[in-house]
Amino acid sequence: MDYIHLRDMQFFGYHGVLKEETVLGQRFRASVSLAVDIQKAGQTDDLQDTVSYVGVYDICKEIIEGKPYKLIEAVAESIATRILSDYEGQVFGCRVEVIKPDPPIAGHYKEVAVEIVRGRFHE
C-alpha cells in the first residue's frame, strides 16, 4: 500500500459546543493520509493515475470552513466519509486528524485532537 499525506492544513471554522466557539470561530488544523496504489502514477508521471491532493485539500477546506459541528469528531468523520465517497476505487482507506489548537479549556496544554481511521483496506 502507498500513501499520500496532506499534513498540517490550516483553516478557520465555527465548530464547538460553547456559544463563543460558534460565534467567534477559531483556528483548526487537519492532516489526512490516504491509502492508495500510486505505482502506475510513478511510472507514467500522469495525474490521471493518482489522487489529486488539491481535491482532497478542497474537501477539507469546504467541511472545516463550512457548516458548524459541535464536535471535532463529527468534522473528522465528515471528511473521511467524503474522501472515501468522492474517490471510491482510488482511495482504499484514510486517516484524518482534526486539531483544535486553542479550545476554551482552562489549563496548560498544546492542543486537543481526534484521529480516525476509515476505509476498505482489504479490497
Distance CA(13)–CA(26), nearest Å, equals: 6
Buried b (16+ CB within 10 A) or exposed e, 108-121: eeeeebbeeebbee
Distance CA(118)–CA(79), nearest Å, equals: 10
Active-site residue list:
100
